[in-house]
Amino acid sequence: MSNAVGDTGTTGASASDIEKVGVVGCGLMGAGIAEVCARAGQDVVVVESSDDAAKAGRARLEASLRRAAERGKIPDADEVLDRIRVESDLAQLADRDLVVEAIVEDEDAKTALFRALDEIVTSPEAILASNTSSIPIMKLAVVTGRPAQVMGIHFFNPVPVLSLVELVPSLLTGEETTERARAFVQDTLGKRAIDCQDRAGFVVNALLIPFVLSAIRMMESGFATAEDIDEGLVRGAAHPQGPLALADLIGLDTTKAVAESLYEEFKEPLYAPPPLLARMVDAGLLGRKTGRGFYTYPR
């Protein structure tokens, strides 16, 4: 397979080929991606790291889909659930047309997974995609033997609600791969795709994370409380929620990981994680998912 820039690396496959979707990871993001794909009629296999994690992931999907049915967003939760299998063996992804990685925001873990997926997924036309928030796609592509089929497809939390998806080809991603992904995201899933260059943070996080970090520094310095910072942005700038509440929703560990990736690439002080953020992550105060971050949440 040629690795030249612009090589399509495919043999004429179209968006209609994407009928079997795999998702690796069934946390908040992975479960959300699996849900929107199944709601769009796709056959979905989700793989978690253990049987216990798979059971927890299945429970997360069931709860979300039953809430969606209660609110009239879907007619039948069971019909959607029937399209989803949650497994603990990567080999179950062998026949997938598209696999989306949604594991921890750690470069070593992601590169190891892409090496494994390259060996497991049998179709040479299958797209191997990452939902990374910040890690350059090139670093994932080059560990595979099919870099033309590797790209970023970055969803936003909560996935069933937010309509944006960032499409991130690397220098080696085939043009046809990108267009198949675009058609899947927009025509099959009904979301809005924007194009991003393969640089840390892409579009949204490159703008958002420095804003969030600035709010953390303001609180850390004693200049204002978390409540007043967030209230100021909600009522004074018409933001739907304040930056510290948003950090809790994103997850403070993810916020820190994205900041570190941005700082590693650009070496600009505005990307450096504040000490308070690092201490909170060390303490396990990660936001909504742990019940406590800048605010406390019911468990």
Residues of the domain holding 131: 15-195
Which pLDDT tens digit goes with each residue over 50-104? 999 999 999 999 999 999 999 999 999 999 999 999 999 999 999 999 999 999 9
Q: Annotated active-site positions, please? A: 133, 154, 166, 205
CATH number of domain containing 216: 1.10.1040.10
* Cβ atoms of 100 and 22 closer than 8 Å: yes
Q: What is the mean pLDDT of residues 157-173?
A: 96
- Percentage helix, strand, coil for the chain under 3-state DSSP, each rounded to 5: 50, 15, 40
234 within some domain: yes
Which pLDDT tens digit goes with each residue over 203-212? 999 999 999 9
Of the pLDDT bands very low, low, confident and very high (cuts 50, 70, 90), residue 16 is low
Alpha carbons 255 and 20: distance in angstroms, whole number: 31
pLDDT above 60: residue 12: no
Q: Is there a single domain that holds both residue 138 and residue 212?
A: no
Burial of 230 (0-12, 13-18, 19+ CB in 10 A): buried
Spatial CA neighbour of 24 closest among 96, 98, 102: 102
Q: Is there a single domain that holds both residue 171 and residue 39?
A: yes
Of the pLDDT bands very low, low, confident and very high (cuts 50, 70, 90), residue 8 is very low
